[in-house]
């Protein structure tokens, strides 16, 4: 029994080591720069449905959204932003399949995995919304996209059980943001004058306010 337990633990450790690292998937985001860029925006992420499940962390989602806005949607940021982009994920559904197969895996000392069968599969389906706001917080437009991703927990070609859920969520979010990116490209001719009208933040008497508001005094 001790030998069997040792072999199982060794195979589990080997399976974890053999999984693909997820870092390169999220760090090397595809660049798809819009033809019509918005003025510099500050990306923010709301507390939403993804906070209630075993998901990508808030910081991971913020980095993903920042990369999308800074690289593809808005002009390069300086010290001043002319508005903000708020990301919300109001709906998310996560399915896990193949969990019963893990019993078979353990009973056979991971033989199915060694020959290439997956341990488990995570599938994420979500809806994402992005609000473009001016400096006063007024919503100038809201855009929605839908994403779906499927990530396998498997040796050789899959990911570990620790990384698969967050990766599935992040890939689904990236798909939804790609749909929203196209909508923002179309809406840029309407949004850009509205964002520029408020102007950058200036300081008057130690209190920040917009250029438009300052001109009314």
Residue 215: strand, helix, or coil: coil
- Give residue 104's pLDDT: 58
Name the stretches of the chain with pLDDT < 70.
1-30, 49, 52-56, 78-79, 98-118, 156-158, 199-217
Q: What is the largest CA-CA distance in the chain?
A: 83
Tell me how many helices (H) and strands (E) the chain has.
Answer: 7, 6
Model confidence over 65-124: pLDDT tens digits?
999 999 999 998 766 889 999 999 999 998 988 665 666 566 655 655 555 566 788 899
Q: What is the DSSP string of 154-195?
A: -TTTS--TTTHHHHHHHHHHHHHHHHHHHHHHHHHHHHHHHH
Q: How crowded is the C-beta side of 183, counted as CA atoms within 13 Å? A: 16
Contacts of 146 (CB under 8 A, 6+ apart): 125, 126, 127, 128, 175, 176, 179
Contacts of 190 (CB under 8 A, 6+ apart): 141
């Amino acid at each position: 029994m001790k030998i069997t337990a040792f072999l199982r633990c060794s195979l589990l450790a080997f399976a974890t080591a053999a999984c693909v690292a997820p870092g390169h998937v999220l760090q090397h985001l595809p660049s798809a720069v819009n033809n019509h860029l918005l003025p510099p925006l500050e990306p923010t992420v709301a507390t939403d449905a993804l906070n209630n499940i075993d998901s990508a962390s808030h910081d991971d989602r913020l980095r993903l959204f920042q990369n999308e806005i800074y690289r593809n949607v808005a002009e390069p940021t300086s010290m001043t932003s002319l508005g903000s982009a708020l990301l919300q994920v109001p709906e998310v559904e996560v399915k896990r399949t193949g969990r019963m197969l893990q019993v078979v895996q353990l009973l056979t000392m991971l033989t199915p995995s060694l020959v290439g069968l997956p341990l488990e599969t995570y599938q994420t389906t979500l809806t994402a919304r992005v609000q473009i706001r001016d400096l006063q917080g007024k919503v100038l437009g809201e855009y929605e996209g839908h994403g779906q991703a499927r990530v396998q927990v498997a040796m050789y070609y899959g990911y570990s059980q620790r990384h698969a859920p967050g990766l599935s969520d992040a890939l689904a979010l990236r798909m939804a943001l790609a749909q929203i990116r196209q909508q923002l490209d179309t809406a840029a001719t309407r949004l850009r004058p509205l964002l520029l009208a408020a102007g950058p933040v200036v300081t008057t008497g130690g209190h920040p306010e917009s250029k438009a508001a300052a001109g009314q005094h």
